[in-house]
């Protein structure tokens, strides 16, 4: 795993802009993830004319039952007819899903994470040409004793606008496999935790308040909800 580069965020996350499309290799074990899906995604702020930004997550991932490690590929696409202009992708983990590293991206300072999230990275996508896409290899941990969600907002580089947001959308299984080498998880499925008492685990979802990411104001969507989770930024040091 590559070393984690810590960044201090004051006012907004500052990320480098790249004019070329950045395509990163997919980590081992991620080649069986199936087709990408935009499930749980929704346009937020109005994108420039001719720009249509979306994200894709794999329909399935696999969690190693010994280490709890998993690999996820996140893709940003411009399905429009015009170049997007410089944008960034945020990768944020919730509950049992912890984002440990995203290749080519910077860790979000703990004080700037949305309330309820446990980890996050900011990725400098740069400007995507019409029809272009770029993918990021995500190393994550998944506690199979909990539910787990991931969120992918696509924003301007200063975070003032969020053009698209996928999630927080869950990965999970209703059929845990504690005796197998790995447990397959499906996108859009609430996890049934392994072990006794799993049915009593609190579920997260629409209605839980999420604080925008720092002064950038990242709006987080609840998967399947009709509206946005809007709230004021954290009072101290946001």
28: helix, strand or coil: coil
- Which tokens go with 60? 């399935």
Walk along the chain (238 residues) and give the pLDDT tens digit of each residue. Answer: 433 333 333 333 323 322 223 333 333 334 456 679 999 999 999 999 999 999 999 999 999 999 999 999 999 999 999 999 999 999 999 999 999 999 999 999 999 998 899 999 999 999 999 999 999 999 999 999 999 999 999 999 999 999 999 999 999 999 888 889 999 999 999 999 876 544 444 444 343 333 344 333 334 433 333 223 322 233 333 3
Domain 36-229 fold: Immunoglobulin-like (2.60.40)
- Which tokens go with 45? 């702020």
Task: Please report, for the chain, the start and end positions of each structural domain, with discontinuous segments joined by +.
Answer: 36-229
Please give the backbone phi and psi of residue 85, each rounded to the nearest 5 degrees, phi first.
80, 165
DSSP assignment of 161-215, as one string? -EEEEEEEEEEE-SS--TTSSEEEEEET-----SSTTGGGSPPP-TT-----SGG
Phi-psi region of 75 (alpha: psi -120 to 50; beta: other; left: phi over 0): beta
Q: Which residue, chain included where needed, has tokens 């899903």?
A: 97
DSSP state of 94: E
**Composition of the chain by helix, strand, coil, percent to 5:** 5, 40, 55
Nearest CA to 11 among 169, 223, 160? 160
- Which tokens go with 97? 């899903």
């Amino acid at each position: 795993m590559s070393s984690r580069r810590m960044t201090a965020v004051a006012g907004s996350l500052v990320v480098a802009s790249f004019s070329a499309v950045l395509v990163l290799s997919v980590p081992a074990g991620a080649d069986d993830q199936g087709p990408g899906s935009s499930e749980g995604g929704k346009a937020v702020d109005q994108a420039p004319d001719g720009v249509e930004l979306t994200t894709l997550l794999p329909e399935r991932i696999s969690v190693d039952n010994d280490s709890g490690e998993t690999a996820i590929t996140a893709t940003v696409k411009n399905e429009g007819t015009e170049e997007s202009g410089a944008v960034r992708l945020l990768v944020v983990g919730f509950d049992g899903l912890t984002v440990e590293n995203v290749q080519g991206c910077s860790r979000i300072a703990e004080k700037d994470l949305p309330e309820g999230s446990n980890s996050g990275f900011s990725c400098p996508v740069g400007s995507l040409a019409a029809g272009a896409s770029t993918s990021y290899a995500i190393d994550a941990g998944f506690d199979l004793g909990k539910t787990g969600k991931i969120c992918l907002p696509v924003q301007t580089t200063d975070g003032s606008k969020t053009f698209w947001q996928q999630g927080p959308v869950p990965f999970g299984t209703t059929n845990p496999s504690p005796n197998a080498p790995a447990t397959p998880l499906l996108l859009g499925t609430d996890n049934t935790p392994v072990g006794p008492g799993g049915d009593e685990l609190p579920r997260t979802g629409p209605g839980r308040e999420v604080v925008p990411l720092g002064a950038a104001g990242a709006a987080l969507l609840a998967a399947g909800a009709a509206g946005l989770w809007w709230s004021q930024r954290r009072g101290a040091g946001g």
